[in-house]
Amino acid sequence: MAKRKLTHQQRRRVEGKNRNKKLDKPNANSTSQLGEEQPGLVITSFGKRVLVEDIHGEHFSCAIRQHLGKLVAGDQVIWQTDLEDKTGVVVQLQPRTHELSRPGFRGQTRMIAANIDFIGIVMPVVPGIHPDMIDRYLVAAKQLDIPAVIIINKVDLLETDDDWQAVAALLEPYDALGIELIPASTISNEGLQTLQEFMEDKNSVFVGPSGAGKSSLINALIPDLDIRVGQLSESTGLGKHTTTNSILYHLARPAANNDELMATGNLIDSPGIRQFSPSPCELSELESYYPDFAPYLGHCKYKNCSHTIEPHCAIREAVDNDKIALSRYQSFQRLLEEFKTATNPAT
Ligand SMILES: Nc1nc2c(ncn2[C@@H]2O[C@H](COP(=O)(O)OP(=O)(O)O)[C@@H](O)[C@H]2O)c(=O)[nH]1
Ligand SMILES: [Mg+2]
Ligand SMILES: [Zn+2]
């Protein structure tokens, strides 16, 4: 419509305004005044920005080109510095391998970590170990096809043999599955050496409930972490003790012949999540993530048995005969139920 046409003067004014805006602060979609494209690693995300580490280990607060969506700790990106200050713009996201995410609000996905190849499930003996949550993370690890260990944290709080036995009973099903169980404590330093060996040269993520001791463990595992956390909060403008978004730290150990530290992988600290959920999947896929069910699958009366109310169910019989742990059966059923509502929200 003619009304919408700008007069020559108006157009000049608008263009002038935009030009000034660009000079003030280049936004994520401007291309002026930017340095060459270079590779970078996302350390953490905050607000609409990310902290990117360049190949020299320097950190830059970066805007993100809109079409890239949300970025997360562990992402490999291509970015350009803003030549005027120590900021930049992420212009490309390298393909992710093994992204750990969870369902967020209104069907959105919340990223937890990218490019990981090892999951440490941190469970505290106090207030308690939650098998249901362990099983959810184990399913996620199976979906990604990466190894997971269970870190039994705060074992300094176990005082009697009975305390230990109660914990051992809860963990029995995982021991039977051959999953590594690592008792740990940042008070007694138990388990730290073992963890270090497991994580050598890997990109690991620590997950688990809030208060499990994830950040404390990372603090104990990384020698100069205090300094780095200080630097991080300076670059992001965020407080020191909040893990609202995942943060990537470099692991290091002393080099053989001198005092220098050698990089040996990365460890991502993740925020505590009240209820984690793996990606929804079909019954048969979920079954394949429960290796303890395997000997009984195919022996139910009905071929597509959901192992809930069907007669002559081999899985339920195995539970009744203590061949499958009740907690494992219950977590399976809860996930199945949850996946059903996730795929058919109306029902
Ligand atoms: N007794 C004991 N307390 C611990 C241990 N590790 C962490 N804590 C405490 O547990 C609380 C939560 O720790 P934090 O690392 O913030 O947990 P996060 O939420 O999983 O990161 C803090 O008060 C820690 O001091 C441990 O090994 N033993
Ligand atoms: Mg924390
Ligand atoms: Zn069945």
According to DSSP, the residues that pair with 40 across neighbouring strands are: 77
| Ligand 1 atom nearest to 272, measured from its CA | 19
User: Exposure string (b/e) for 120-156, b if CB count within 10 Å is 16 or more?
Assistant: bbbbbbeeebbbebbbbbbbbbbbbebebbbbbbbbb
CA 142–ligand 1 middle distance (angstroms): 27
Tens digit of pLDDT for each residue in 7-28? 444 444 434 344 333 333 445 5
Quick one: average pLDDT of 143-161? 97
- Residue 79 near residue 55, CB atoms below 8 Å: no
* Cα separation, 226 vs 232, whole angstroms: 10
Ligand 1: residue of 126, 157, 216 to mutate (most ligand atoms within 8 A of CB) is 216
- Residue 264 near residue 251, CB atoms below 8 Å: yes
pLDDT at 242: 60
- Residue with CA nearest ligand 1 atom 9: 213
Tell me: pLDDT of 58 over 60: yes
Tell me: pLDDT of 271 over 50: yes
pLDDT at 28: 53
| Ligand 1 atom nearest to 153, measured from its CA | 27
pLDDT at 258: 63
Quick one: average pLDDT of 315-336? 97
Is 33-95 in CATH node 2.40.50.140? yes
pLDDT at 257: 67
Q: What is the assigned CATH class of domain 283-343?
A: mainly alpha
The architecture that CATH gives domain 100-269 is 3-Layer(aba) Sandwich (3.40)
CA 103–ligand 3 middle distance (angstroms): 28
pTM reported for the whole predicted model:
0.87
Tens digit of pLDDT for each residue in 296-308? 999 999 999 999 9
Nearest Cα to 39, choosing from 85, 90, 73? 90
Query: Ligand 1: residues within 6 Å at CB?
Result: 153-154, 156-157, 185-187, 210-216, 243, 272
Going from N- to C-terminal start, the domains of the chain cover 33-95, 100-269, 283-343
Give 288 or 242, the one with higher predicted confidence.
Answer: 288
- Residue 18 near residue 65, CB atoms below 8 Å: no
